[in-house]
Amino acid sequence: MEFINNVLEKNYEEFMLKNKDQTHFLQSLEWMKVSEYKGLKTHLVGVKENNKLIATALLLQKKLPLGYSYFQIPRGFTMDYNNLELLNFFTKEINNYTKKFKSIYIKIDPDLKLHNIDHENKVLEGTNNYELVKYMESLGYKHLGYNKFFE
């Protein structure tokens, strides 16, 4: 695997279109332009394997006093979160990349469903991402709680 710190917009957009089930509007080039208008510095990063993109992310950098920054990755990475090796690699490489900008933290809010619930909030069979949440915590992510919808 190879970390790419300057994914071309054309390649980024192609990857997003091919992976619609793994992406979100807040990772789009349109949102990137809105963020730039709001004064944020944007970074398109990704991971290639066998010369093919297998993961991307839009990083939004907010510059702080004294040369520090923090980063946000709205709605998380565009990738298969079940590929734990990729998740581990991408996490470490993004951490290394953002350190160059004196990042004090990275905020990520991946669009992951923990499980399905019915109208009475009872857990239904099917989606179960408990182990994924535990794995992400082992990589250094801090889980800040659950929500039912988008609150």
- In the chain, the amino acid numbered 62 is K
Q: Is 121 helix (H, G, I), strand (E, B) or coil?
A: coil
Nearest to 27 by CA among 136, 84, 108, 96: 108
- In the chain, the amino acid numbered 133 is V
* 145 against 134, higher pLDDT: 134
d(CA 6, CA 45): 6
Least confident of 26-35, 44-53, 114-123, 134-143: 114-123
Q: Residue 10's Cα: distance from chain center in Å? A: 19
What pLDDT digit, counting tens, does each position of 46-103 carry? 999 999 999 999 999 999 999 999 999 998 899 888 899 999 999 999 999 999 999 9
Average pLDDT, the chain: 87
Nearest to 113 by CA among 76, 60, 83: 76
